[in-house]
Every structure is written in structure tokens, then in C-alpha cells.
Amino acid sequence: MTSWKDNLRPASFRGVPFQVDDEGTFGRRVQVHEYPNRDKPYTEDLGRAARRFTINAYLVGDDFFEVRDRLIVAIDTPGPGTLVHPYYGEIAVCIDG
């Protein structure tokens, strides 16, 4: 029998390790143009949409409080930081929210 912890994968942000079970949002930016007295809309491709990741960071272990405090500092630091993701590799990201 597996537990929810078995589905977690290692990740880190600015060198602070944590576990993830996240999803990303990917796709293209499009603008749909609809005109009066026309039955067919025109869809304009505006390029790739910005990739957004919703990350649920799990801190597991005896050093939970120490790692939590380090992660808070890493998230509060301005500018982009390096996210090491189990599926997407090493990428520079900005925290949004």
C-alpha cells in the first residue's frame, strides 16, 4: 500500500530542498476576433503563453522548521531564482503570489 508521500518528488528553489506534487499550465496565447454580420471568427496566434507552475511544496523531516524558514527567505528574495524541478529541470523563475 502506498501513501501520498510516495508520490512526492525532490525539488529545490534557490538551493532550499522540498518535495513536490505539482502541475503546470502550458499553451498558446490566442485572440479570437468576432465581427458583426460574420458567422466565422478569426483566431490570431500570439505565441507561446508564459509557463506557470502551481507548486505545492512539502517539507518532510526532522528539520522542518529550519527548512521552512530558509524557504520563506528564498521566496521573499527579489528577482528570479533557480527552480530545480523533477520534470522540467533547472529553470529561472519568478514567484507570482
Tens digit of each residue's pLDDT (9 = 90 or more) over 62-86: 999 999 999 999 999 999 999 999 8
Structural domain for 38, as ranges:
4-93
Number of independent structural domains in the chain? 1
Residue pair 16/82 in contact by the 8 Å Cβ criterion = no
**pLDDT score of 22 more than 70:** no
pLDDT > 90: what percent of the chain?
A: 60
- The yes-or-no verdict on residue 26 having pLDDT over 90 is no
> Per-residue pLDDT for 56 more than 90?
no
The reported pLDDT for the residue numbered 5 is 76
